[in-house]
Homo-oligomer: A and B are copies of this chain.
Amino acid sequence: MTSSPRISATHGKPYTIGLVQMRCDGSPAENLKKAIAMLEKAAAQGVQVACLPELFLGPYFCQQEDAAQFDLAEPVPGATTEALGKIAKKTGLTILASIFEKRAAGMCHNTLVLILPNGALGGIYRKMHIPDDPHFHEKYYFTPGDLGFRSFTTPEGRKIGTLVCWDQWFPEAARLTALQGAEVIFYPTAIGWMPSEKQQLGAAQADAWETVQRGHAIANGVYVAAVNRIGYEGAKKDGLEFWGGSFIADPFGRVLARASRDKEEIITAVVDPALQEETRRAWPFFRDRRIEHYGALSAHHGSLPEEKP
């Protein structure tokens, strides 16, 4: 399942992706500065497509419901996409960055932007699945995305799928993104342990998080790249310890790179479209989907009559 000379179909050239795992508890200006420095370092290492963690500009404000936090929202395009456009142009990077998007007064999204190497805004994805749980009050802040699931083909011919954090638990999201042609799906993330749960459940939670995304890689024959923040944020015994563990998996679900739980670092891997082609030939799941029987995926539980023997 390594890239093979036997595969001669038309497909793109390999490219290097990088995930910037960082602490995000500083001010927006500090975090932007650090992100830019790490992006420059990534580019110097040969990274061509880089992704920052979810809402990297500041602490994860969704731990509480606080109307003042809406001051952090900004338009897209705006100051942050402009700053990142400059660094993209300078370095030649394609950049994926997660922004608290202000779309209108009192109406915001959790948005992933694609910045092209010429500095232009190449596209946006608005987070479709919005969580709301203790410490993750996102339904208070974010209107669910209305753009659907997306894969973008860059001018270099790279096929970039875009999802965000909570989306990573939904097989529908990965499938719909892959069906649009993605070679790699990026998942900027802010996920962590509650101190009260970590000892009993921490290992299982982090393992489930990685496993379900490796499952998407396997089921869809697609690279998956998840980038998380690190560090402790919030009240001393009642905050969140972001668990890092950013990783890149290949279309066979093999982990190519995995970051630490507690260090700022850049991890990289090569996305090889030939390996995607070869993996899907070996296990041709897309060939065998029973699309005429999937209609009930557009319904909730119990919408179908249950079989009773």
Contacts and interface: CB of A to CB of B under 8 A. Distances in A.
Nearest to A130: B288
Nearest to A155: B309
A299 interface: yes
Given A122-B309, A284-B133, A300-B291, A171 B171 contact: yes
Nearest to A149: B293
A144 B290 CA distance: 9
Copies of this chain present in the complex amount to 2
B301 A179 contact: yes
A133 B288 CA distance: 12
Interface stretch (A36-44, A56-64, A67-75, A214-222): A214-222
Interface string A263-286: 000000000000000000011111
A307 B150 contact: yes
Among A302, A303, A307, max chain B CB count under 10 A is at A307
A239 interface: no
A98 to B, nearest CB: 18
Contact of A285 (B170, B216, B299): B170
A133 B282 CA distance: 8
Contacts of A254: 204, 207
A296 interface: yes
Contacts of A171: 171-172, 174-175, 215-216, 219
Contacts of A285: 169-170
A186 to B, nearest CB: 14
A286 B309 contact: no
Nearest to A201: B1
A123 interface: yes
A212 B200 CA distance: 24
Contacts of A302: 179-181
A211 B214 contact: yes
Contacts of A303: 179
18 contacts: A1-B201, A128-B293, A153-B306, A153-B308, A169-B219, A171-B172, A171-B216, A172-B294, A172-B297, A176-B297, A179-B297, A180-B301, A208-B252, A211-B218, A212-B219, A291-B297, A291-B298, A297-B298
